[in-house]
Amino acid sequence: MKTPLGKGEGGRMSESAVRAGDEGKRLRHGFWVYALSGRVVRSRGPRWHNRAVTERSEYRGGELLDANLPAEPWPLWNEWLRAAREAGLTEPEAMHLATTDAAGRPHGRVVLLRGWDERGLWFFSHTHGPKGQELADNPYAAATFWWPALERQIRVEGAVERLPEAESDAYFAARPYESRLASAAVAQSRPVRDRSQLEEQVEALRSRYPVELPRPATWGGYLIVPDRMEFWQGRPARLHDRIDYRRAGSGWVRQRLSP
């Protein structure tokens, strides 16, 4: 197929159109044409399909200056979580949770952070689903929080423990009744016939427990005990701030990482 550029030998765009190292795009006969470091890339796809190739964002919303950084991560963690909440973001406690199965294959999903204290971060889930099995096989996890509106990201890594039964009981009892029904009625990640099967399971449990519903033994809390926490603040021209805290004995060591 001939390159639909009509510019230069071998279909290359002229230097006046695209200089080596520049990034540009031209529409030619239905193709979106991209010049990436002097190399021409063509696509028949719609323009929005190729936005990831050409669009850039400049981050100018904040900075992390060494003189203002705490010796431990928790003051900065509290400050950033509070800012995410006050910014009115949707689900500011949503985090991408990564686990690994017994074969070493990674798995990820978004879950909600439900609290934290000096021990670490906690979330709740079915314990007999894939996530629970992965944590039983390899009790370590990585959690990532990303707030585009604030141009911030936090990464947390560490061992995972089960929360005490009393804490799981207390949280489950505090949930809305309908949420408790849905959690108790389903076997997470198991195939179902159709949605009506899920609704039937919920109604059957509602008939059995019309008022109070005990926490199922297959549902409970997990605690991520951090041994690493990284705070990322977007900065102009990709010269981002990355502040990394690593557990060292009973304290933390802080260092700045290259972006």
Q: How far, in Å, CA of 74 to CA of 55, rounded?
A: 35
Which backbone phi and psi does 111 adopt, to 5 degrees? -130, 170
- Spell out a b/e string for 29-44, using b for 16 or more CB atoms within 10 Å of the CB, else e: eebbbbbeeeebebee
What's the longest Cα–Cα distance across the chain?
78
- CA nearest neighbour of 251 among 223, 226, 233, 222: 226
Can you read off the two tokens belonging to residue 56? Answer: 């850039």
Q: How far, in Å, CA of 253 to CA of 82, rounded?
A: 24
Are 29 and 23 in contact by the 8 Å Cβ rule? The answer is: no
Would you please indicate which residues are annotated as catalytic (active-site) residues? 238
Q: How far is CA 219 from the centre of its chain?
A: 22
Query: Which residue is associated with the tokens 């108790």?
Result: 184
Can you read off the two tokens belonging to residue 231? Answer: 């705070």
SS3 content of the chain, % helix, strand, coil (to 5): 30, 35, 35
Tell me the DSSP string of 47-64. GGGGHHHH------S---
Residue 73, number of CB atoms within 10 A of its CB:
23
Are 215 and 168 in contact by the 8 Å Cβ rule? The answer is: yes
